[in-house]
Amino acid sequence: MSLFLRYAAISDRGVVRQGNQDSVFAGSHFIAVADGMGGMAAGDLASAIVINTVARLDVPPPSDSVVDELADAVADANRAIRRCVADDPQKEGMGTTLTALWFDGEWFNLVHIGDSRAYRMREGGFEQVTVDDTYVQMLVDEGRITAEEAERHPQRSLLLRALGASEVEPAFQTIKGVAGDRLLLCSDGLSGPVSDADIARTLQTSASPQEAAESLVQQALDAGAPDNVTVLVADVVEEHPGEQRQIIGGAAADQRLAESDTAVLRAIREDGEEPEGDATVNLRADGAESGKKKKKKGGRVWRTVLSCLIVLVLAAGAGAYWVRTQYFLGVSDAGNISVYRGLPFEVAGLRAAWLEMESERPASEATDDVEADLKDGIRVDGRSGAESELDELIDPAAGNENLDPLCSVSDTEAVPTASKDCRDD
Interface contacts to Mn ion, rule CB under 5 A: 35, 187-189, 227
Toward Mn ion, which CB reaches closer, 47 or 326?
47
Q: How far is residue 162 from each of residues 96, 190, 230, 339, measured CA to CA in Å?
A: 6, 19, 17, 39
Q: How far is the CB of 227 from Mn ion (least distance, A)?
A: 4
Q: Give me the least distance between CB of 21 and Mn ion, in Å please.
A: 7
Nearer of residues 137 and 338 to Mn ion, judged by Cβ = 137
Our CB check for Mn ion shows the closer of 43 and 209 to be 43
Work out how close the CB of 72 gets to Mn ion at its nearest, in angstroms, rounded to a whole number: 26
CB of 31 or CB of 323, closer to Mn ion: 31
Closest approach, Cβ 305 to Mn ion, in A, equals: 23
In the complex, what is the shortest distance from the CB of residue 14 to Mn ion, in angstroms, rounded to a whole number?
Answer: 9
- Cα separation of 95 and 360, whole Å? 48
Q: Which amino acid is present at 294?
A: K
Minimum separation from the CB atom of position 19 to Mn ion (A): 12
Residue whose CB is less far from Mn ion, 177 or 249: 249
Please say which residue, 35 or 58, places its beta carbon nearer to Mn ion: 35
Q: Which residue's CB is nearer to Mn ion, number 96 or number 206?
A: 96
CB of 215 to Mn ion, least distance (A): 20
> Which is closer to Mn ion, CB of 249 or CB of 342?
249
**What CA–CA distance (Å, rounded) separates 349 from 316?**
10
Q: How far is the CB of 171 from Mn ion (least distance, A)?
A: 19
Q: Quote the CA–CA distance of 351 and 360 in Å, as a whole number.
A: 24
Closest approach, Cβ 348 to Mn ion, in A, equals 20
CB of 118 to Mn ion, least distance (A): 15
Q: Which is nearer to Mn ion, 95 or 377 (CB)?
A: 95
Nearer to Mn ion, 78 or 187 (CB): 187
Three-state SS string over the chain comes to CCCEEEEEEEEECCCCCCCCCEEEEECCCEEEEEEEECCCCHHHHHHHHHHHHHHHHCCCCCCCCHHHHHHHHHHHHHHHHHHHHHHCHHHCCCEECEEEEEECCCEEEEEEECCCEEEEEECCEEEECCCCCEHHHHHHHCCCCCHHHHHHCCCCCCECCCECECCCCCEEEEEECCCCCEEEEECHHHHCCCCHHHHHHHHHHCCCHHHHHHHHHHHHHHCCCCCCEEEEEEEEECCCCCCCCCEEEEHHHCHHHHHHHHHHHHHHHHHCCCCHHHHHHHHHHHCHHHHHCCHHHCCHHHHHHHHHHHHHHHHHCCCHHHHCCCEEEEECCCCEEEEEEECCCCECCECCEEEEEEEEEEHHHECHHHHHHHHHCEEECHHHHHHHHHHHHHCHHHCCCCECCCCCCCCHHHCCCCCCCCCCC
